[in-house]
Amino acid sequence: MAISEERRERKNAYMKAYYQANKENTRAYYEANKDRASAYDKEYYQANKEKLTAYKKSYAQANREKIAADKKDYHEANREKIATASKEYRQTNKEKLAEYREANKEKITAYRKAYGRANPGKINAQTSKRRAAKIQRTPNWLTVDDYHAIRTLYETAAALTKSTGIEHHVDHIIPLRGKIVSGFHCPTNLQILTATENHNKYNKFTGEH
Question: Can you say whether the dihedral through the CA atoms of 110, 112, 116, 118 is positive or negative?
Answer: positive
Instruction: Look at residue 64 in the predicted model and tell me its pLDDT.
Output: 87
- In 10 A of CB 159, how many CB atoms? 13
* Cα separation, 125 vs 170, whole angstroms: 9
Q: Which residues contact 168 (CB under 8 A, 6 or more apart)?
A: 157, 158, 160, 161, 192, 193, 194, 195
Instruction: Look at residue 180 in the predicted model and tell me its pLDDT.
Output: 77
Record the pTM. 0.50
- In 10 A of CB 150, how many CB atoms? 23
The residue type of 116 is: G
* Cα separation, 111 vs 106, whole angstroms: 9
What DSSP string describes the chain?
-PPPHHHHHHHHHHHHHHHHHTHHHHHHHHHHTHHHHHHHHHHHHHHTHHHHHHHHHHHHHHTHHHHHHHHHHHHHHTHHHHHHHHHHHHHHTHHHHHHHHHHTHHHHHHHHHHHHHH-HHHHHHHHHHHHHHHTT-S-TT--HHHHHHHHHHHHHHHHHHHHHSS-EEEEESS-TT-SS----SSGGGEEEEEHHHHHHH-S---S--
Q: What is the pLDDT along the chain (209 residues), one digit of tens a residue?
A: 455 677 777 877 888 888 788 888 877 877 888 888 788 888 888 888 888 888 888 888 888 888 888 888 888 888 888 888 988 988 898 888 888 888 998 998 898 889 888 888 888 888 888 788 767 888 889 998 999 999 999 999 999 999 999 999 999 998 887 777 888 999 999 999 998 888 887 655 554 44
* Cα separation, 33 vs 72, whole angstroms: 33
